Amino acid sequence: MAQHVLAMMSGTSPEGAAAALRGRAERPDYIALLPRIAVPTLVVVGEDDEFTPVSDARLIQRQVPGATLEIIRRAAHMPNLEREAEFNAALQKFLDTLPPAAAAER
């Protein structure tokens, strides 16, 4: 996983990385908009994520009507890469709860 992330980071231009960091730093607070989300929502967080801690994920879950929260154990900010099997199982479990029409759109 470390090699994969290093390759992604190394392949990013300094301008692109700077723009991404600037965008993250300057983005507005969208918490007030979360209650408007009207689609099935899965919030996934690594239990050791320092950038988006579990407390933030719980806040998102509480604000999005009907949202599902999955905490991936022994993972940090990239649970899809760090704990791929657990992440995929959580995603599949969520997808299995969707109504047939939503599932057909996958």
| Whole-number pLDDT of residue 106 | 58
- What's the DSSP call for residue 26? H
Q: How do the pLDDT tens digits run along the chain, 106 residues long?
A: 778 666 767 778 989 889 988 987 998 999 999 999 999 999 999 999 999 999 999 999 999 999 999 999 999 999 999 999 999 999 999 999 998 875 566 5
- What's the DSSP call for residue 43? E
The encoded tokens of residue 52 equal 């988006």
Which residues on adjacent β-strands are paired with residue 42?
68
Nearest CA-CA partner of 74 in 60, 65, 90, 86 = 86
Residue 87 to residue 29: CA distance in whole angstroms: 27
